[in-house]
Structure 1
């Protein structure tokens, strides 16, 4: 019998279809996470009662510090997904860390240390109401970070 060949960087996993699919899932979730950093996360909405209209000024994720962390976490997860498909299954499981970093950065985005929300939320009865809003990009980022963490955890649990 021949000895199995050892590869530098650790043992290679078999080319199982399920392992490649899990790595591809992590790659896609990482890509979605990176894209959400470019979407609007929050905004300031002014509603005009007389005109029955509203105006929103949006803030994208990369306009603030946490958005850059989410973008970096998404790119890192994409890289780990590629490494998980081509090298070792453990890389796919390690993508749980960028998912956790992104979820923490999204939570920190909502933390308002200067009570900005209280200062920006005001209303002139029947005429004007100004209030901060959370936009769809923040929710998409949260969903992508949770999906990334779940896919990475599944990759870790399936190999045990």
Structure 2
């Protein structure tokens, strides 16, 4: 699998699936979650309610329609809330591994990922980038491109360094 890094808006990526850093309830929220729900429109929320009436546990993944976005699917993952004491790194890495598993089930070959838990959930950004890249590069999958989408320049540079470190 090829890991690419772009700076931009995850909701505008022309890929098979975008990964949403969701909260446990899966009803929308702030950050990436809010952006995906706004861009996808009501179909994303309706599918979340129908498919996941009780939400998802931390580290787990599930899919819904992407609604109005260019992608076909949204793969929702619930990252650990570091700020609230969820500091087990395996919960973070399982988000990426489980997202790839769901992508394989869907037949998605191109998947756009945010930096899970690195925003309001407070995971240290450098470790969040390392965990993402290590897990993506070390997980067997049919996905051909894992596109890390950084919203700003500093996140882009951080993820780019993590990718170059793994490729050494």
TM-score (norm 1): 0.26
More helix by share: 1
TM-score (norm 2): 0.25
